[in-house]
Amino acid sequence: MRIKSATFIVSNQEVSKCPKSNLPEYAFIGRSNVGKSSLINMLTNQKKLAKTSGRPGKTQLINHFLINENWHLVDLPGYGYARVSKSKKNTFQKFITNYFRDRKQLVCAFVLVDIRHEPQPIDLNFMQWLGENNLPFCIVFTKSDKLKPKAIETHIETYTALMLEHWETMPKYFITSSTKHQGKDELLNYIETINFSIRS
């Protein structure tokens, strides 16, 4: 899929205030600093569409972007950022959870995982929760530029083995790097295929 337009629509903390249209929607979620906002910029060929930062906790709202006038891409705050206060963390968790539970337009969640790290309970628990709520998701491994190809292969094997302890199959996954533009075509083509199947 070619990105012809990508426009910021609205930011908020309430799923009831998200765009009312029925356009298919894809959300990017994962730990703080994993690279959600950077990935969105990479996919849309823009440098500053989604705000990024080296410090975790940059994205604090549900951000809707309209792509090619016919689908939404959503940038969410990260989970598991220890330095925000406990009450703030609870507020975050609550509106993120509400978003996933109530947003009927959501077609697929992309759960981002830093390819350098061992499988983390917080990610595995979140995927478990998505599964229990019948919410389709894919895994997006980020920052692949930080590892050599062999290490990537080993990491994917370890991750797959662990996932298979809890899941019948390994969810669909993508290996990406926002700095090297890796995984872009695969992700966009996947979204295009789903959009096509929904509409036909």
Residue 36 vs 143, nearer CB to Mg ion: 36
Looking at 82-90, 103-111, 142-150, 167-175, which segment touches ligand GTP (CB under 6 A)? Answer: 142-150
Q: Rounded to the nearest whole angstrom, what is the least distance from the CB of residue 23 to ligand GTP in the complex?
A: 22
Residue 195 within binding range of ligand GTP, rule CB under 6 A:
no
b/e per residue 138-174 (b: at least 16 CB within 10 A): bbbbbbbeebeeeebeebbeebbeebeeeeeeeeebb
Residue 59 within binding range of ligand GTP, rule CB under 6 A:
yes
Beta bridge partners of 83: none
Binds 44: which of ligand GTP, Mg ion, none (CB < 5-8 Å by kind): none
Looking at 51-59, 111-119, 136-144, 153-161, which segment touches Mg ion (CB under 5 A)? Answer: 51-59
Residue 56 within binding range of ligand GTP, rule CB under 6 A:
yes
Residue from 25, 26, 29, 37 that binds ligand GTP (CB under 6 A)? 37
Residue 63 within binding range of ligand GTP, rule CB under 6 A:
no
Residue 185 structure tokens: 């075509």
If you search the block for the tokens 């075509």, which residue do you land on?
A: 185
The answer to whether 55 and 83 have CB atoms below 8 angstroms apart is no
- Helix (H) or strand (E) holding 193, with range, is helix 184-199
Residue 60 vs 68, nearer CB to Mg ion: 60
The answer to whether 80 and 109 have CB atoms below 8 angstroms apart is no
Binds 178: which of Mg ion, ligand GTP, none (CB < 5-8 Å by kind): ligand GTP
Residues listed for the chain: 200
Residue from 12, 125, 179, 193 that binds ligand GTP (CB under 6 A)? 179
The three state secondary structure string of 88-155 is HHHHHHHHHHHHHHHCCCEEEEEEEEECCCCCCHHHHHHHHHHHHCCCCEEEEEECHHHCCHHHHHHH
Q: At 15, is the secondary structure helix, strand, or coil?
A: helix
Q: Rounded to the nearest whole angstrom, what is the least distance from the CB of residue 163 to ligand GTP in the complex?
A: 21
Q: Which amino acid is at 137?
A: F
Residue from 44, 63, 142, 195 that binds ligand GTP (CB under 6 A)? 142
Query: What residues line the site for ligand GTP (CB under 6 A)?
Result: 32-38, 52-54, 56-59, 77-78, 142-143, 145-146, 177-179
